[in-house]
Amino acid sequence: MPVFHLLPREDGLRHPAWSMSWHSKPCTIVADTPKQARQFANGAFIIPIRSETGPLQDLPLPWSSAELVEARRAPGMAEFGQNGALRIDNSMQPMLA
């Protein structure tokens, strides 16, 4: 199964969408596609918001935005877990999809 690096873009780190994520540094995710890797990252890092209305409702999910996060396939990198496995700072964190 492919492994992807998700790399937040330096010039986008001040975007208000990042206020919805508890993590804004690079991570590595096992996924079938870059889109799926982004979805796993959103599931792992987005902070639930109680209200459906308010200033954050129109913001993109940061991990899904190509303007905010670059997704690169990691060729030759050995898979380090099942689909959805996530690695931050050299430690693997299990994640539910």
Domain layout of the chain by residue ranges: 3-48+56-93
Question: Which tokens go with 92?
Answer: 């693997």
- Write down the pLDDT at residue 97: 38
Mean pLDDT is lowest, of 20-24, 27-31, 72-76, 88-92, for 88-92
Q: Is residue 31 within 8 Å of residue 73, measured between CB atoms?
A: no
* Alpha carbon distance, N-terminus to C-terminus of the chain: 16
Confidence band for 96, pLDDT divided at 50, 70 and 90: very low
CB atoms within 10 A of CB 54: 9
Task: Give the pLDDT confidence score for residue 91 in this predicted structure.
Answer: 46
pLDDT band at 93 (very low <50, low <70, confident <90, very high): very low
- Report the alpha-carbon angle 30-16-54, nearest 5: 110
Q: Which residue has the tokens 């913001």?
A: 59
**Tens-digit pLDDT profile for residues 17-55:** 998 999 999 999 999 999 999 999 999 999 886 555 565
Phi and psi at 43, nearest 5°, equal: -65, -35
The reported pLDDT for the residue numbered 36 is: 95
The pLDDT of 82-88, averaged and rounded, is 72
